[in-house]
Homo-oligomer: A and B are copies of this chain.
Amino acid sequence: MMDFISQCRAALGAAHVLQAPADMAPFLTDQRGRFTGQALAVLRPGSAEEVAALVRACAEYRVTLVPQGGNTGLVLGSVPDLSGRQVLLSLARLNRIREVDAVNRTMTVDAGCILQHVQQAAAAEGCLFPLSLAAEGSCTIGGNLSTNAGGTAVLRYGNMRELCLGLEVVTPQGEIWNGLRGLRKDNTGYDLRDLFIGAEGTLGVITGAVLKLYPQPKASLTALAALRSPAAALQLLVLMQDHCGASLTGFELMSQYCLQLVAQQFPQLRQPFAAPHAQYVLLELSNSEPEQHAVGLLERAIGAALERGVIDDAVVASSVAQSAALWQLREHIPLAQARAGKNIKHDISLPVSRIADFITATGPRLDAAFPGCQLVCFGHVGDGNLHYNVAPPDGIAHEDFLLNQDQVNRLVYDSVAAFGGSISAEHGIGALKRDELARYKSPVELNMMRAIKSALDPLGIMNPGKIL
């Protein structure tokens, strides 16, 4: 392996080939601290050409590689295994905004750019890059692409796949594919772009991308509605979309237990309703028109919802500060969970129309199997995405409850499958859900995936053990 390392040093300069345990440590443990892998080296290339040189070296010496962006992934997709024979390829030094084209509404960036920097560069040109998620201060565009990231604006703008027009990829043969096209329409052969997006680094290394930008919204307005049930939330969604169309940019469901958890852990946050309700929906409207227009639109829609008995109560933010306070409730749910102790997490999606039935059916099954367990159920309901987390019954230690993880997962995922849903809505598969994937995907689909993997990466050097 010394020859291989020498070749890496020659390609990058010795300073960017890390081998000391202390230097490598930050790259080897996943964000939630669940797993620590080992690596032969951490490689920090500074350009697509350097990435290509490293991949060619990996192919020559049959060294497998694990690409990593901001190391904020949630499914152990960007940390190496325990063998110590893999290299960790950090894309963090590829961090240039290459070009902003305000007329084409596109931005060309290196894969290692941090999402927040991309958002800021778009805003500086009067544009919006809509992807927004909790890790935006440290996650990278390459990771967002490789996991087809979702977040809070999918309802209006789509997932990362819908926000990307073109890619630059280093293939498993160490060639650079320049697919950095800024085209809204291009029907010239197979859609390689969308194949690499969401492939979690198993088919090639994304080194650059052309991202889609949108006009910056001029006004944004937030409201919180109180409802009796998830079924009412679905009625509200249809009503809001009929009234507001594309101006409805956020629709987040939270159960009473979620807000109770936030109130317990963060008593300083103001709870908007005097009495508790079973469910809440956080609504956001934003568009290119003056704020008074959004106010009128939202008031009419909320009025119709109250009149038809779809919602029981609502507060509409009348200032930016009030909007922020309502969003804080939503954003503090994961933080409150973390303070309360570990729980068993699921990032699932369902057809929107089946969410209420899923919640109604699955809760009692969990309660029958694990009496008294608590559901922390919230999420991007407008996209059919639930964060469906199971916490221990009162009086049971979190560590003890986690021993039931496999049985809880089986029960939840079987229910997801029965309702036509997905076991990973926005986090990906990685190493964490690989066995679950094999269980829930059809052999026909798995075989096609394996055929594509073998065709593009016949040596199997690209992030093996992830997804497949």
Which of A13-21, A271-279, A452-460 forms contacts with chain B? A452-460
Residue A420 at the chain B interface, CB threshold 8 Å: yes
Residue A423 at the chain B interface, CB threshold 8 Å: yes
CB within 8 Å for A444 and B177 given contacts A192-B449, A455-B452: yes
Given A104-B352, A190-B203, A190-B467, list of 8 further CB < 8 A pairs? A159-B185, A171-B444, A178-B444, A183-B420, A183-B422, A189-B468, A190-B449, A247-B287
A161 touches B441 (CB 8 A): no
A384 touches B287 (CB 8 A): no
User: Which residues from B are CB-within-8-Å of A242?
Assistant: 126, 215, 288
Partner of A241, one of B159, B199, B215, B426: B215
Partner of A188, one of B103, B175, B185, B429: B429
Can you list 28 contacts pairing A with B, beta carbon distance less than 8 Å? A104-B351, A105-B352, A147-B187, A148-B187, A162-B162, A171-B444, A182-B351, A183-B420, A184-B352, A184-B383, A184-B384, A185-B349, A185-B380, A185-B425, A186-B424, A186-B425, A187-B428, A187-B429, A188-B437, A188-B440, A189-B429, A191-B197, A215-B242, A215-B245, A245-B289, A448-B456, A451-B456, A452-B452
Residue A154 at the chain B interface, CB threshold 8 Å: yes
Per assembly, the copies of the chain total 2
How long is the Cα–Cα vector from A217 to B241 in the complex, in angstroms? 10
- What is the interface of chain A, defined by CB distance below 8 A to chain B? 101-106, 126, 147-148, 150, 154, 156, 158-159, 161-162, 171, 175-179, 181-192, 194-195, 197-199, 203, 214-215, 217, 234, 237-238, 241-247, 287-289, 293, 297, 349-354, 380, 383-385, 420-429, 433, 437, 440-442, 444-446, 448-449, 451-456, 467-468
B187 touches A445 (CB 8 A): no
Q: Shortest Cβ distance from A2 into chain B, in angstroms?
A: 31
User: Which residues from B are CB-within-8-Å of A195?
Assistant: 190-191, 194-195, 452
User: Which residues from B are CB-within-8-Å of A452?
Assistant: 190, 195, 452, 455-456
CB within 8 Å for A426 and B187 given contacts A177-B444, A351-B106, A420-B182: yes
Residue in B closest to A300 when the chains form the complex, CB atoms:
B289
How long is the Cα–Cα vector from A214 to B245 in the complex, in angstroms? 8
Partner of A444, one of B156, B176, B351, B353: B176
A161 touches B191 (CB 8 A): yes
User: Which residues from B are CB-within-8-Å of A426?
Assistant: 185, 187
User: Which residues from B are CB-within-8-Å of A420?
Assistant: 181-183
Which 4 residue pairs are nearest across A and B when measured between Cβ atoms? A245-B288, A455-B455, A246-B246, A103-B353
